[in-house]
Structure 1
Amino acid sequence: MARIIESTKGGTAFQRLLGHNEGILERWTKLGDMLEREGRLSSHLKEQVRRTLAQENGCEYCKAKGKPDPYTFNEKISVAVGFAEVFNKQKGNIPDSIFGVLSQHFTDEEISELIAYISFATASQYYGALMKLQAN
């Protein structure tokens, strides 16, 4: 059970916790929708990154959507997932050499999108963990 009672606003348990603050719910959901859709990076790549982050970020709700699926990885997904693993271990203290690896596989625009996505997904997962949001 979550630490607070779910509101009546929102389509998921996560959104109903945010729904106590409609402005936050609306903007968080819009940003999440924008970051999750196809952009410079594929939705599939981002989902594999999200799943990787979820394994360490303490949100049972987020982990319930599954582990990364390495059988669907290509080279870019492997590098992005590897970066997400380093991010989880280093908590933002990423050496320049790791960014050098990213630069070999991604454009600056793609790196910007990847870092924005990782930051947002991590914040969402921390929120779920802090609220003790459980999988259904």
Structure 2
Amino acid sequence: MARIKESERGATPFQHLLGHNQEVMNRWNDLGTTLGDEGRLSSRLKEQVRRTLAQGNGCEYCKAKGKPEPHLFDEKTSIAVGFADVFLKLKGDIPDSIFKVLKETFSDEEISELCAFIAFTTASQYFGAMMGLKA
């Protein structure tokens, strides 16, 4: 059971917790959809990054959706997942040398999308962890 009662708004347990404020839930969902959909980066790549972040961000609900699947990785996914691992270990204090590696494979637009996705996903997973959201 989560730390607060669920609202009646939303379609998922996560949304039920955000649903205490309808506007926040709606905007959070909209941004999550925008960042999770196909963009400069594939949704498949972003799902592997999400799974990687879930293992380190403390949300049991997010972890339950599965671990990373290395057998599905291509070169870009491997680098993006590696970057997510570095982010987790360094708590966002990422050295320029790591961005140099990213720039060998990703465009600035892709790097921006990847970092936005990682930041938003981490915020979502921290929210789930703070609220004690279970699988």
TM-score, normalised to structure 1, is: 0.99
CA separation in 2, counterparts of 1:9 and 1:98?
A: 41
Q: Percent identity?
A: 69
Cα distance per residue 1:66-86 (max 9 Å; x no partner): 000000000000000000000
Matched, 1:24 2:24: yes
Matched, 1:105 2:105: yes
Q: Matched residue of 1:56: which SS?
A: helix
CA separation in 2, counterparts of 1:113 and 1:95?
A: 18
Matched, 1:71 2:71: yes
Amino acid at match of 1:83: F
Q: What's 1:53 paired with?
A: 53
Q: What's 1:3 paired with?
A: 3
CA separation in 1, counterparts of 2:78 and 2:92?
A: 19
Q: What's 1:127 paired with?
A: 127
CA separation in 2, counterparts of 1:43 and 1:14?
A: 20
CA separation in 1, counterparts of 2:97 and 2:8?
A: 47
Shift of 1:56: 0.6
Gaps of 5+ in 2: none
Matched, 1:39 2:56: no
Q: What's 1:91 paired with?
A: 91
TM-score, normalised to structure 2, is: 1.00
Runs of 4+ in structure 1 off by over 3 angstroms are: none
CA separation in 2, counterparts of 1:56 and 1:34?
A: 23
Q: Matched residue of 1:26: which SS?
A: helix
Matched, 1:81 2:81: yes
Amino acid at match of 2:104: Q
CA separation in 2, counterparts of 1:48 and 1:125?
A: 15
